[in-house]
């Protein structure tokens, strides 16, 4: 207890340092613990989305587990053991599993087929051959609707089993409702079984997951008994051989996570072998898990996302590690005298390290208790970002604490604890003599300058850049996708090394720059400024920690901001460019094209089809129905013909022909002006006056050797060409990708797509009237669902509908994009937070350590205003310099390393071309935060200086 009290008192004497150290530990642990929480939350969200998408596309419930086992033996004992094993396994591994969240459970058992004869041949034709089977499905009565008759009794009625049948079964078996039938089959010894169909049934709701495995359509020879009666008389007593047993479980897939997905996939593979064991030879099995494909992809995503999260957090961990080292070094620096005295009086290094280990251990335990819960809040921040520093309310992201989070937090606690002990271990080597000797050598160059650490870091970072450039070049040559490389930790680490090395290099040169300023005004500086400049020149080493910390935080923040914004803008620009407008749709066009045969012809019947007309004539649907939809700002007709043909001189080639109305198209289309030499609308205005004017893609101009004024013949198969005039050449055009595509089978060079853009009216009048798309630009805040509802009211028949805004929203929900936006946003915020903590801590300790110096200045006649000016200049020369160096290195790192993120795309197919994007607002935010830190420091400095009196400084000097 006495040791604990001593540690607490020691921590209380340095409470500012302890609070900052604890804050750093808390941030590190929370950040580390948030990674598995965020990973699981995002993947759960994506899994549920994938499963719902699969449900919409296939109609098969993705949370279903269905198994059927067909008996291949009539041995009653073997069948009994197999059914017992099935019941035990199903109840323990499926319905009893806490991972699966089972909402419905259905057991299915059916007998082998047997013959039936009518009890009263006078009422029912006895000549009809009737082969049927008895079956039970648990809870069947709750999911059916009676067409005729009544539900059967749960017990035998006068020795007769009442059964349910489908309407098709009545016809197939030649049975009448209410008539009795006897089982007559040589395989069945018990001939006293009599059944009576009393109900004709149909499914109540075919969309009910209950019918997911098998509905009643194929039960044309099945007689359904109530489940309890079947279990009591046909499973327990076994008068008829059981032919098949199975089960269907419906689970709540919205509760699925990584463990559930792995469990479901394991069930799909191992359910039958594990359940059957040595009876495998007696049964053929079928196991069906409709959601397994989405779950397999989910497992792969989990591995990639884990790697990506670690990679994204590497720079932040480096920053926090540096913060730890800086704060602990300050803490140890204040206590160096105490450490050296204890060493001189016989205390071993082990005892000293143990004392600090206990102190840091108390902080680590407290941070471990709080950190993971703070990590949950971090996760909510990560999950609520749609783009960089843009937050949305994403309530569907399920966040929960897991054992994995506590393990990650424990690892972070241990790493932080060890890292904090490094400065202590170094300081324990210092005796009183060493300390005095070190003070005498304060002007000596630091170790990192002697060994050229700054140059080494820059060279390593540039070599990493070179290697990634080479890999990207190889990917483009081979036509491969580089997404697997985009999660490489080195891709996120080498920019931090570059920022760190560049910051150190600037700090090596910075004293020379200050010395130059000093010499330029050497004879004109006021005494207080003269003193400050000399202090910064001669004792610049004491500012290295603060300046490097600011360089690292500001530089990393700027780089992360540029990276996130660049990736977001390029991803969304690709979607916008490929789509062309907010909404692209195609109405159904009536035509005289012959319809195909209704079904496949029989083997002996030849295929007969109406001859195709030479030209198909289309009836254009009313364009006004689309143009006047609610929320539509501009609607443009856009005709495209991918297989058009163009001729110029002796050259001909396949082109994509696009027909537009220039005015409407210019208002409806999305285009990035930076892609062209002139504004996009200028090109449209160029061809607007001449109905035969066209624009050529640069690929087409290069292929044909065409230039403005040349005449092209354009048409397609079965259509007589028309003559058009080239007015301009464009490198890009909405929805047109000019990058080469792979050649057809058989090799050859890659083919460059070619585009010709002309007037829609000319194409329709001189070539042919064929279906076109409609590009819609919507008004701000337009309700797209209301627009679709109005289409239904107007009976608009659509053959295609593409919602670009919806695609943008969906892309923002991609787990990898969410990880990049979330982690970099959080990193930016944490960088500002720990930058403020480190800054305030440095200046508080600096002021406290220089009280005597300030008092002497006051005693010498330096006014309070002049003293404040000295400190302001000192902060500008140190903190301000660190801030501007950080901005410079962050921008430089962005220009050098952000282009490497083309690896996140297909480098050879990116349109628009990858572009590094920065936002001045990010620098303004950093500037505001830095000004706030400077202002806060000045306020505290003013308050401390006002409290100081000259006689206190004299008394301090006497002591």
Among 390, 418, 441, identify where a domain stops. 441
Looking at the structure, tell me whether residues 622 and 757 fall in a common domain. Answer: yes
Q: CB atoms < 10 A from the CB of 165, how many?
A: 28
In this predicted structure, what is the pLDDT of residue 743? 46
Task: Provide the CA 340 distance to its chain's centre, in angstroms.
Answer: 53
Token code pair at residue 789: 């509802």
Burial 120-136 (b: 16+ CB within 10 A, else e): eeeebeeeeebebbbbb
Tokens 């051959």 locate to: 129
What is the band of 659 on the pLDDT scale with cuts at 50, 70, 90?
A: very high
Q: CB atoms < 10 A from the CB of 414, how many?
A: 12
In this predicted structure, what is the pLDDT of residue 732? 92
Looking at the structure, tell me whether residues 327 and 359 fall in a common domain. Answer: yes
In contact, 102 and 255? CB cutoff 8 Å = no
How many Å apart are CA 230 and CA 227, to the nearest integer? 5
Looking at the structure, tell me whether residues 199 and 167 fall in a common domain. Answer: yes
Checking if the pLDDT of 896 tops 70, the result is yes
Question: Which is higher by pLDDT, 903 or 605?
Answer: 903
Flag whether 598 is in a domain.
no
How many Å apart are CA 361 and CA 28, to the nearest integer? 15
Kind of pairing, strands 242-251 and 64-71? antiparallel
Tokens 């779950």 locate to: 295
When pLDDT is averaged across residues 502-522 and rounded to a whole number, the result is 84
Flag whether 644 is in a domain.
yes
In contact, 822 and 533? CB cutoff 8 Å = no
CATH number at residue 83: 3.30.70.100
Q: What DSSP assignment string belongs to 349-401?
A: HHHHHHHHHHHHHHHHHHHHHHHHHHHHHHHHHHHTEEETTEE---TT-----
In this predicted structure, what is the pLDDT of residue 741? 66
Among 419, 441, 463, identify where a domain stops. 441
In this predicted structure, what is the pLDDT of residue 14? 67
How many Å apart are CA 310 and CA 308, to the nearest integer? 5
Most confident range (mean pLDDT) of 293-302, 332-341, 740-749, 758-767 is: 758-767
pTM (predicted TM-score): 0.71
In this predicted structure, what is the pLDDT of residue 906? 64
Checking if the pLDDT of 636 tops 90, the result is yes
What is the band of 441 on the pLDDT scale with cuts at 50, 70, 90?
A: low
In this predicted structure, what is the pLDDT of residue 254? 83
Peptide bond into 912 cis (omega under 30): yes
In contact, 533 and 518? CB cutoff 8 Å = yes
Flag whether 481 is in a domain.
yes
Query: Cα angle vertex 820, ends 814, 823, to 5°?
Result: 125
In contact, 132 and 191? CB cutoff 8 Å = no
Burial class (CB in 10 A: 0-12, 13-18, 19+), 255: middle
pLDDT tens, position by position, 408-425: 888 888 888 888 788 777
Query: Cα angle vertex 739, ends 738, 745, to 5°?
Result: 115
In this predicted structure, what is the pLDDT of residue 660? 93
Looking at the structure, tell me whether residues 883 and 818 fall in a common domain. Answer: yes
Burial 598-619 (b: 16+ CB within 10 A, else e): eeeeeeeeeeeeeeeeeeeebe
Tokens 């843009």 locate to: 390
Question: Which is higher by pLDDT, 819 or 697?
Answer: 697
Checking if the pLDDT of 745 tops 50, the result is no
Checking if the pLDDT of 595 tops 70, the result is no
What domain count does the chain have? 5
Kind of pairing, strands 693-697 and 722-730? parallel
When pLDDT is averaged across residues 420-438 and rounded to a whole number, the result is 68
Q: What is the dihedral of CA 354, 356, 357, 360, to 10 degrees?
A: 160
Token code pair at residue 661: 């109305």
Lowest mean pLDDT segment, chosen from 103-107, 354-358, 817-821:
817-821
Looking at the structure, tell me whether residues 863 and 790 fall in a common domain. Answer: no
Among 411, 441, 471, identify where a domain stops. 441
Looking at the structure, tell me whether residues 626 and 766 fall in a common domain. Answer: yes
Flag whether 603 is in a domain.
no
Tell me the average pLDDT of the chain: 80
Flag whether 588 is in a domain.
no
When pLDDT is averaged across residues 859-872 and rounded to a whole number, the result is 77
How many Å apart are CA 823 and CA 821, to the nearest integer? 6
Looking at the structure, tell me whether residues 311 and 223 fall in a common domain. Answer: no
Lowest mean pLDDT segment, chosen from 165-174, 766-775, 918-927:
918-927
Looking at the structure, tell me whether residues 782 and 900 fall in a common domain. Answer: no
- Packed helices 544-579 and 920-947: angle between N→C axes, nearest 10 degrees: 160
- Counting residues of the chain whose pLDDT is more than 90, the rounded percentage is 16
Kind of pairing, strands 160-166 and 144-149? unpaired
Residues forming a β-bridge with 654? 645
pLDDT tens, position by position, 292-331: 887 877 767 777 777 777 777 777 777 777 777 777 777 7
Looking at the structure, tell me whether residues 416 and 461 fall in a common domain. Answer: no
The residues, ordered by sequence, that sit 6+ positions from 143 with a Cβ below 8 Å of its Cβ are: 203, 204, 205, 208, 210, 211
Checking if the pLDDT of 397 tops 70, the result is no
Query: Whole-angstrom distance between the N-terminal and C-terminal Cα of the chain?
Result: 34
Range of the domain at 666: 618-741+750-796
In this predicted structure, what is the pLDDT of residue 700? 92
Question: Which is higher by pLDDT, 602 or 58?
Answer: 58
Flag whether 321 is in a domain.
yes
| H helix intervals, 850-880 | 851-859, 864-875
Looking at the structure, tell me whether residues 531 and 675 fall in a common domain. Answer: no
In this predicted structure, what is the pLDDT of residue 513? 84
Tokens 């059981």 locate to: 242
Token code pair at residue 727: 């007015």
In this predicted structure, what is the pLDDT of residue 639? 94
The residues, ordered by sequence, that sit 6+ positions from 928 with a Cβ below 8 Å of its Cβ are: none
How many Å apart are CA 819 and CA 813, to the nearest integer? 10
* H or E element, residue 462: helix 453-478
Question: Which is higher by pLDDT, 484 or 387?
Answer: 387
3-state percent breakdown (helix, strand, coil) of the chain, nearest 5: 55, 15, 25
In this predicted structure, what is the pLDDT of residue 783? 87
pLDDT tens, position by position, 273-283: 888 777 776 78
Checking if the pLDDT of 380 tops 90, the result is no
In contact, 502 and 889? CB cutoff 8 Å = yes
Flag whether 602 is in a domain.
no
How many Å apart are CA 497 and CA 552, to the nearest integer? 10
CA distances to 165, 813, 816, 909 from 564, rounded to whole Å, are 63, 15, 12, 21
Looking at the structure, tell me whether residues 703 and 646 fall in a common domain. Answer: yes
The residues, ordered by sequence, that sit 6+ positions from 475 with a Cβ below 8 Å of its Cβ are: 481, 482, 485, 903, 907, 908
Helices and strands, number each (H, E), in the chain: 29, 24
How many Å apart are CA 499 and CA 554, to the nearest integer? 10
When pLDDT is averaged across residues 123-133 and rounded to a whole number, the result is 86
What is the band of 600 on the pLDDT scale with cuts at 50, 70, 90?
A: very low
Checking if the pLDDT of 56 tops 70, the result is yes
Flag whether 935 is in a domain.
yes
When pLDDT is averaged across residues 456-482 and rounded to a whole number, the result is 77
Looking at the structure, tell me whether residues 557 and 668 fall in a common domain. Answer: no
The residues, ordered by sequence, that sit 6+ positions from 566 with a Cβ below 8 Å of its Cβ are: 894, 898, 901, 915, 916, 917, 918
């Amino acid at each position: 207890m006495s040791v604990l009290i001593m540690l607490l008192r020691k921590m209380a004497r340095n409470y500012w340092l302890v609070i900052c150290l604890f804050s750093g530990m808390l941030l590190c642990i929370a950040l580390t613990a948030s990674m598995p929480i965020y990973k699981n939350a995002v993947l759960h969200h994506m899994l549920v989305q994938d499963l719902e998408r699969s449900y919409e596309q296939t109609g098969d419930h993705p949370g279903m587990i269905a198994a059927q086992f067909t008996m291949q033996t009539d041995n009653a004992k073997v069948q009994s053991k197999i059914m017992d094993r099935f019941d035990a396994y199903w109840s323990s591994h499926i319905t009893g599993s806490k991972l699966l969240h089972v909402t419905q459970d259905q057991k299915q058992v059916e007998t082998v087929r047997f013959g039936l004869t009518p009890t009263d041949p006078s009422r029912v034709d006895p000549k009809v051959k009737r082969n049927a089977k008895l079956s039970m499905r648990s809870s069947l009565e709750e999911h059916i609707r009676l067409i005729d008759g009544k539900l059967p009794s749960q017990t035998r009625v006068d020795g007769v089993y009442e059964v349910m049948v489908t309407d098709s079964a009545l016809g197939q078996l030649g049975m009448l409702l209410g008539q009795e039938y006897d089982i007559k089959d040589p395989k069945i010894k018990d001939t006293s079984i009599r059944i009576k169909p009393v109900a004709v049934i149909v499914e109540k709701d075919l969309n009910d997951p209950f019918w997911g495995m098998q509905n009643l359509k194929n039960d044309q020879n099945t007689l359904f008994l109530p489940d309890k009666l079947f279990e009591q008389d046909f499973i327990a007593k076994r008068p008829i051989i059981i032919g098949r047993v199975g089960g269907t479980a419906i689970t709540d897939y919205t509760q699925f996570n990584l463990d559930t997905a792995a469990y479901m996939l394991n069930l799909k593979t191992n359910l039958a072998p594990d359940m059957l064991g040595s009876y495998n030879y007696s049964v053929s099995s079928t196991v069906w898990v409709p959601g397994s494909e989405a779950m397999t992809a989910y497992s792969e995503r989990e591995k990639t996302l884990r790697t990506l999260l670690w990679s994204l957090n590497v720079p932040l961990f480096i920053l926090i590690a540096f913060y730890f080292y800086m704060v602990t070094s300050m803490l140890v620096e204040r206590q160096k005298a105490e450490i050296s005295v204890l060493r001189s009086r016989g205390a071993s290094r082990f005892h000293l390290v143990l004392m600090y280990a206990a102190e840091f251990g108390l902080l680590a335990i407290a941070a471990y208790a709080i950190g993971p819960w703070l990590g949950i809040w971090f996760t909510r921040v990560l999950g609520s970002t749609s783009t960089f520093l843009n937050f949305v309310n994403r309530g569907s992201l399920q966040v929960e604490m897991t054992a994995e989070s506590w393990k990650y937090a424990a690892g972070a606690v241990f790493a932080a604890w060890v890292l904090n002990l490094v400065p202590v271990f170094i300081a324990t080597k210092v005796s009183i003599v060493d300390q005095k000797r070190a003070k005498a050598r304060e002007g000596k160059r630091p170790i990192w300058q002697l060994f050229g650490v700054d140059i080494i870091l820059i060279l390593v970072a540039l070599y990493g850049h070179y290697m990634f450039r080479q890999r990207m070049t190889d990917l483009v040559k081979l036509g491969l996708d580089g997404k697997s490389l985009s999660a490489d930790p080195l891709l996120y680490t080498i920019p931090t090394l570059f920022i760190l090395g560049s910051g150190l290099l600037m700090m090596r040169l910075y004293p020379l720059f200050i010395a130059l300023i000093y010499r330029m005004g050497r004879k004109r500086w006021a005494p207080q400024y003269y003193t400050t400049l000399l202090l910064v020149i001669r004792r610049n080493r004491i500012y290295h920690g603060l300046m490097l910390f600011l360089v690292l935080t500001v530089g990393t923040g700027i780089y992360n901001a540029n990276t996130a914004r660049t990736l977001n803008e390029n991803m969304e620009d690709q979607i916008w460019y490929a789509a062309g407008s907010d909404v692209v749709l195609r109405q159904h066009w009536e035509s005289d094209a012959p319809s195909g045969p209704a079904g496949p012809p029989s083997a002996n019947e030849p295929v007969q089809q109406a001859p195709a007309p030479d030209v198909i004539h289309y009836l254009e649907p009313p364009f006004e129905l689309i143009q006047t939809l609610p929320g539509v700002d501009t609607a443009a007709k856009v005709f495209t013909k991918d297989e058009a043909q163009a001729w110029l001189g002796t050259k001909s080639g396949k082109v994509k022909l696009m027909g537009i109305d220039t005015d409407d198209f210019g208002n409806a289309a999305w285009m990035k002006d930076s892609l062209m030499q002139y504004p996009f609308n200028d090109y449209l205005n160029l061809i607007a006056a001449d109905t035969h004017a066209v624009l050529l893609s640069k690929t087409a101009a290069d292929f044909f050797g065409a230039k403005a004024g040349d005449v092209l013949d354009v048409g397609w198969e079965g259509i007589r060409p028309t003559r058009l005039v080239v007015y301009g050449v464009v490198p890009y055009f909405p929805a047109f990708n000019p990058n080469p595509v792979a050649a057809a089978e058989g090799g050859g060079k890659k083919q460059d797509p070619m585009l010709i853009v002309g007037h829609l009216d000319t194409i329709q009048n001189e070539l042919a009237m064929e279906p076109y798309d409609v590009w819609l630009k919507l008004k701000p805040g337009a309700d797209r669902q209301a627009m679709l509802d109005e289409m239904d009211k107007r009976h608009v028949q659509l053959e295609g509908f593409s919602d670009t805004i919806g695609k943008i929203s969906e892309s923002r929900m991609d787990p990898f994009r969410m990880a990049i936006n979330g982690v970099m946003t959080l990193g930016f915020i944490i960088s500002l937070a720990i930058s403020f903590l480190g800054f305030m801590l440095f200046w508080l300790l600096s002021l406290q350590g220089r009280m005597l110096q300030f008092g002497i200045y006051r005693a010498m006649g330096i006014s309070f205003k002049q003293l404040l000016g000295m400190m302001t200049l000192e902060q500008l020369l140190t903190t301000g310099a660190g801030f501007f160096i950080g901005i410079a290195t962050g921008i430089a790192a962005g220009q050098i390393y952000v282009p490497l993120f083309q690896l996140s795309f297909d480098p050879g197919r990116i349109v628009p071309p990858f572009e590094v994007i920065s936002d001045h607002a990010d620098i303004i935010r950093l500037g505001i935060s830095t000004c706030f830190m400077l202002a806060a420091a000045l306020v505290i400095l003013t308050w401390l200086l006002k409290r100081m009196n000259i006689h206190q400084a004299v008394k301090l000097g006497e002591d």
